[in-house]
Structure 1
């Protein structure tokens, strides 16, 4: 507990902010890239990411 003391207090200083949503999007992007077996066209890759992530 003593070694994590600053990190635990930082949770309260940031109102509980988390990078969890960002990590989830990164994981989804990596999964799409892996399933696509390497996209040759960057536009198709971008469209696939927008389709699955739901943002533009």
Structure 2
């Protein structure tokens, strides 16, 4: 229990906040990068990331 004291205290200090949503979007963007297989058109890449992260309606 002593080794988890600091993370447990942080959980209660931050009102149970987490970065789960950010990690989920990051995972989707990483998946997109894998699917793109190295093609790098900045505008198309940005639009695809927005589509995948549901920030833009097709």
TM-score > 0.5 by shorter chain: yes
Q: What TM-score results when the alignment is normalised by the length of structure 1? A: 0.88
Return the alpha-carbon distance in structure 2 between the equivalents of residues 9 and 20 of structure 1: 18
Q: What TM-score results when the alignment is normalised by the length of structure 2? A: 0.86
Deviation for aligned residue 1:55:
2.0
Number of equivalenced pairs: 56
Higher relative contact order (CA 8 A, sep 6+): 2
Deviation for aligned residue 1:44:
0.3
Partner of 1:25: 25
Structure 1, unaligned stretches of length 5 or more? none
- Structure 1 segments of 4 or more deviating over 6 A? none
Return the alpha-carbon distance in structure 1 between the equivalents of residues 25 and 40 of structure 2: 22
Partner of 2:13: 13
